[in-house]
Amino acid sequence: MTAGHVLIAPDKFKGSLGAVEVAGRVAAGLRAARPDVTVVTMPVADGGDGTVEAAVACGFERLEAVASGPTGEPVTAAYGFRDGVAVVELAEASGLHRLPGGRLAPLTATSHGTGDLIAAALGRRPRRLVLGLGGSACTDGGSGMMRALGVRLLDARGQELPPGGGALAGLRSLDLSGFVRPAGVEVVVAGDVDNPLLGPEGAAAVYGPQKGAGPAELARLEEGLAHWAEIAERDLGVRVRDTPGAGAAGGVGFAAMAFLGAEFRPGIRLLLDLLGFSARLSGARLVITGEGSLDDQTLRGKAPAGVAQAAAAAGVPVIAVCGRRALTTGQLREAGIQAAFALTDIEDDPRRCMEQAGPLLERLATTLAAEWLPRPAVPAHE
């Protein structure tokens, strides 16, 4: 990297811009204001939506496969591959944005498509498979993912269960004869939550409501997940339901650990290592990170906090851009962020901030440049 460069490493602005476009818009604004400053872009992600996009922006090959969507419809989804490492993003096939018409399906949505993508990636014979969790439409404990990888879920009559977490209470046995655990492949789960599978902090209780589950449906999902965990752990000889991250993505974290032997790691740390953040950081004078909303969730391991932590360890100052800012200056600085610039600072209308996020980001970047990248003083003539 060029000494004295500015490194732009933002996550997405959810609902407005992907991380690649956020980085591009900020870079355009900086270059317009300071064409003499070298700008390096590195979109990032924490394992959720945009993980494959970030990997591709950093040099991974983008590959596609047909997979099952969360309600069974076929979708074309992408994964990344480079140097024996495959990056699979759950949201690509099993995300909320894949629900037809945006109609929530809390009891029947499935993670089957994530298993389809894993199978496609395993066909490339990777030595390492990174599974990014986040943005899921389902609360099926990863049972759909495992069906795609050869596990059969049977009821009391020996018939296949219907898809989705709502059917899991009827599970009586597993047929593992068609499942072969990937040999010689290190499986790592990248997530930004540390919830267990069950209980008041578990997959159903915490994340079920945002997937459309009401009180009765939450109780049914919790019962089903508990039953799934009991039978899976009994047959596999493991106990991972209480492991931090088991409740990630509606319990897909649980299945990845129990069946695939996956190690769970904080998503942003893993992705920064995978994407080569430290090499791009070397010699930087400033890092600009960001996401749509800087709030309490940011402080719990989201991408901007991870970027700030890594940059602070190298002694590089960090500032952030965002759509809205809900953190105090003190909270930002505790997270390692020196200052934050929000679209709402220059546009009062939240709707316009969403609709015009790109042009507004470019304007914000010019403001940012004036404060954080002042032009060198011109020596006075004698």
110-146 confidence digits (pLDDT tens): 999 999 999 999 999 999 999 999 899 999 999 999 9
Average pLDDT score over residue span 69-84: 97
Contact 245, 194 (CB under 8 A): yes
Contacts of 294 (CB under 8 A, 6+ apart): 304, 320, 322, 324, 325, 326, 327, 332, 337, 340, 342
E strand or H helix at 7, and its extent? strand 6-8
Q: Which tokens hold the place of 130?
A: 């990174």
Cα gap 353→361, rounded to integer Å: 9
CA distances from 55 to 39, 43, 79, 85 (A): 19, 8, 9, 11
Contact 39, 27 (CB under 8 A): yes
Per the prediction, the chain carries an average pLDDT of 95
Cα gap 360→195, rounded to integer Å: 36
Average pLDDT score over residue span 68-80: 97
pTM of full prediction above 0.75 = yes
pLDDT > 60? residue 380: no
Domains (range + CATH), the chain: 6-44+284-372 (3.40.50.10350), 59-268 (3.90.1510.10)
pLDDT > 50? residue 305: yes
> Which pLDDT tens digit goes with each residue over 144-193?
999 999 999 999 999 999 999 999 999 999 999 999 999 999 999 998 88
E strand or H helix at 75, and its extent? strand 74-82
pLDDT > 90? residue 377: no
Kindly indicate the confidence band of residue 382, based on its pLDDT and cuts at 50, 70 and 90: very low
Hey, is 355 helix, strand or coil? helix
The pairing of beta strand 85-89 with beta strand 74-82: antiparallel
Kindly indicate the confidence band of residue 301, based on its pLDDT and cuts at 50, 70 and 90: confident
Residue with tokens 């990344």: 80
Please name the residue ranges forming H helices in the chain.
19-33, 51-57, 90-94, 112-122, 143-148, 203-207, 215-236, 248-260, 267-275, 277-281, 303-313, 329-334, 350-355, 357-372
Kindly indicate the confidence band of residue 213, based on its pLDDT and cuts at 50, 70 and 90: very high
> Which pLDDT tens digit goes with each residue over 345-358?
999 999 999 999 99
Residue 364 has, within 13 A of its CA and on its CB side, a CA count of: 29
User: Percentage of residues in the chain with pLDDT exceeding 90?
Assistant: 91
Kindly indicate the confidence band of residue 376, based on its pLDDT and cuts at 50, 70 and 90: confident
User: Percentage of residues in the chain with pLDDT exceeding 70?
Assistant: 98
pLDDT > 90? residue 255: yes
Q: Which of 279, 293, 286, 290 is nearest to 44 (CA)?
A: 290
Note the pLDDT of residue 2. 56
Kindly indicate the confidence band of residue 375, based on its pLDDT and cuts at 50, 70 and 90: confident
Note the pLDDT of residue 295. 93
Return the DSSP state at 296: G
